[in-house]
A and B are shown apart, each in its own frame.
Chain A
């Protein structure tokens, strides 16, 4: 029973017979994302809603927060009540104290120009006094380890730091219902533990939406549910986890184990004595960030993982390795030959954490053929054949519009673009975020099948153990093998 009978505890969230279909911009109608969803959460409950990617998890979160269909048009049927308020007659700003939503993609939620202003913005909306705002901002920033970054702008933050800002904001406002969409992703181990404690000890109601069952979830929730086929199904923990595992293909063999590589090439990229220093332009208080890499080697076919806390410099190192930034000191060699930034651009493919920064064209076909069309060794027919084959490998529809595709499909497209470039090395920056293990592993296997060396950045130990043959870590500004 998704909705307990009246007479129990007061309901914080009551969703009845909810169906939703996105507005179609083409002639063909879209298929419904949610069909007849019933979901009721009692005051103070902690619920985990699992769903493989592309099943309407984020849509449901946005509907509950009052943002959909107002900003993401579509046809909504059924009713949603948050803390007794009917969302059909409630504006998002009226839900500030009732429902707080942390999006899967933190970048889309920033409105202010500094970390402290971001946290203060909703408190100003509530009309709180300056002292009270300052107290809440200070507490939240201290709790989430953001005091040193308080005047930084969001451009200067890492993915994990951005998530922490949004979680700090939730803590400062403390709404009655927290809707956390993949909020554990991007956070390193210690901040995941902190979020776990906050949920466990909090008095409010929490709905965590996730596409992976993380070790931190153990014994955290009192209700477990699965979103599949547009419906929410509640059940015992073991039952839900089993069904979820089947849906995610967790029983499938790891495609990286014993993978045969099709090319027999051997390249070795070595970085020696790299040093880079970065200052934050928005503040004079923070110390300049410094990263040094005494020695790093990656060879064709390697599977290396890179771990480190949020903001430790993983993305900074990646930018150096692919030649987007130049180091202050040190050198790169490929097969013993010294490499400059432009050579690195063409040898190391870098899949950014956020796929939207790497895909821009109107169709999947154009996105995949962009680089190939510029090559002098390929005829138009060859380009068409390669693009078609690649789309089939990554499960992409060539006529689809990337900007309207789901987040995981956009990740797959980003990987497909790089697959066609056939680089000797790839950096995958938190590829596993919002993807099931099996999908993330198959993407890695595809990128590696021509013999590429892979450097994977991840916070998920389980995933790292499925991929990495060796591991590097960044601690106190130094990257070393562990």
Chain B
């Protein structure tokens, strides 16, 4: 009922202390929303993509980008029309279609979206979920809250997995040359039952997840122990320094004046 987001590897990010990684992730997300230049924003994004490619491989990095591509296209198509004021870039007669400000805002939003996606993906792809949970508990988050956070992050890929399985099943049920030719609109409409089914599968699994957690003793009065520990991460201090330094250096270098 949950899907693993971890991708095995041996890069430097895998050896980095998860507590420091969580801090780096949060600081980078904050940095993306601070008043920095567009160049600075995209420099951060490029750094994240590079780090991702070195650690989890080009394939995983590409797949992450592919998964957010529809959303990015949507932003690129519609965001520029939202801002009507400023220097006109594209116009039909006297009607301004796209302004410079609109295009810049779309670029900024797109950059933030890609940045946040990669920052989160890098954390969960290079850290086993049990270590993420231990790190959250180190930050004094109660066990139940940590469990909810980690379960949520594994539940989203589970819905994506269900969607793939249902699409595969539909593929096997197609009629081939006997099948009616379907327009693009109809094909898009056909996605709806698949999406609905994936959501239904996900919703149906919730009571089973709760059932299994209780069966495994979740809720008992004994103090819960932990099979794993964060002792194997040996360079905690250095990792914290790196996690603090990079976002601060980026902010100092690229802050808007």
Contact = CB atoms under 8 A, between A and B. Distances in A.
Interface stretch (B22-30, B100-108, B202-210): B202-210
A130 B232 CA distance: 14
A277 interface: no
Given A108-B1, A361-B197, A374-B180, A125 B220 contact: yes
A470 interface: no
Interface string A333-367: 00000000000011001101000111011000000
B153 to A, nearest CB: 10
Interface stretch (B6-14, B72-80, B110-118): B6-14
Contact of B216 (A70, A111, A113, A280): A111
B93 interface: no
B39 interface: no
A346 B178 CA distance: 11
Interface stretch (B41-49, B169-177, B237-245): B169-177
Interface in A365-394: 370-371, 374-377
A346 B174 CA distance: 7
A197 interface: no
Interface stretch (B83-91, B223-231, B246-254): B223-231
Contacts of A72: 207
B123 to A, nearest CB: 15
Contacts of B178: 375-377
Interface residues of B, number: 56
B74 to A, nearest CB: 27
Interface in A59-105: 65, 67, 70-72, 91-96, 101
B14 to A, nearest CB: 10
Contacts of B40: none
Nearest to B224: A124
Interface centre among B200, B208, B212, B228 (most CB of A within 10 A): B212
A101 B128 CA distance: 28
Contact of B220 (A70, A93, A280): A93
Contacts of A261: none
Given A91-B219, A113-B129, A417-B173, A133 B225 contact: yes
B193 A361 contact: yes
B1 A93 contact: no
B211 interface: yes
Contacts of B226: 124, 130
Nearest to A367: B173
A91 B214 contact: yes
Contacts of A358: 169
Nearest to A97: B217
B218 to A, nearest CB: 6
A198 B154 CA distance: 34
B216 A122 contact: yes
Nearest to B170: A370
Given A133-B225, A155-B4, A281-B7, A360 B216 contact: no
B4 A113 contact: yes
Given A281-B7, A345-B172, A403 B216 contact: no
A247 interface: no
A459 to B, nearest CB: 23
A421 interface: yes
Given A127-B224, A324-B172, A370-B173, A65 B1 contact: no
A137 B176 CA distance: 49
Contacts of A370: 173
B128 A93 contact: no
A110 interface: yes
Contacts of A133: 225, 227
Contact of B174 (A101, A153, A345): A345
B154 A284 contact: no
Given A96-B220, A123-B227, A125-B218, A111 B212 contact: yes
Contact of B201 (A137, A360, A371, A375): A360
B212 A109 contact: yes
A107 B129 CA distance: 19
Contact of A113 (B7, B9, B130, B173): B130
A133 B224 CA distance: 12
A322 B172 contact: yes
B183 interface: no
B227 A117 contact: yes
A124 B217 CA distance: 9
A370 B197 CA distance: 13
Contacts of B207: 71-72
A283 interface: yes
B3 interface: yes
A127 B222 contact: yes
B54 interface: no
A130 B130 CA distance: 14
A142 interface: no
A357 B174 contact: no
A96 B215 CA distance: 6
Nearest to A325: B168
Contacts of A205: none
Contacts of B204: 403
A243 interface: no
B35 interface: no
B34 interface: no
B224 A371 contact: no
A133 B217 CA distance: 15
B175 A124 contact: no
A270 interface: no
A111 B213 contact: yes
Contacts of B218: 93, 125
A406 to B, nearest CB: 15
Interface of A: 65, 67, 70-72, 91-96, 101, 107-114, 116-117, 120-130, 133-134, 137, 151, 153, 155, 280-284, 322, 324, 345-346, 349-350, 352, 356-358, 360-361, 370-371, 374-377, 403, 417, 421
Given A130-B229, A403-B200, 4 more contacts: A67-B214, A127-B222, A153-B6, A361-B193
Going nearest first, the 3 A-B pairs with the smallest beta carbon separation are A125-B217, A153-B4, A360-B197
Interface of B: 1-4, 6-10, 128-130, 154, 161, 165-166, 168-169, 171-176, 178-180, 182, 193, 197, 200-201, 204-205, 207-220, 222-229
19 contacts: A65-B215, A70-B211, A71-B208, A92-B215, A93-B220, A96-B216, A111-B212, A124-B226, A125-B216, A125-B218, A130-B225, A151-B8, A280-B8, A281-B7, A324-B168, A346-B175, A374-B179, A374-B182, A403-B200
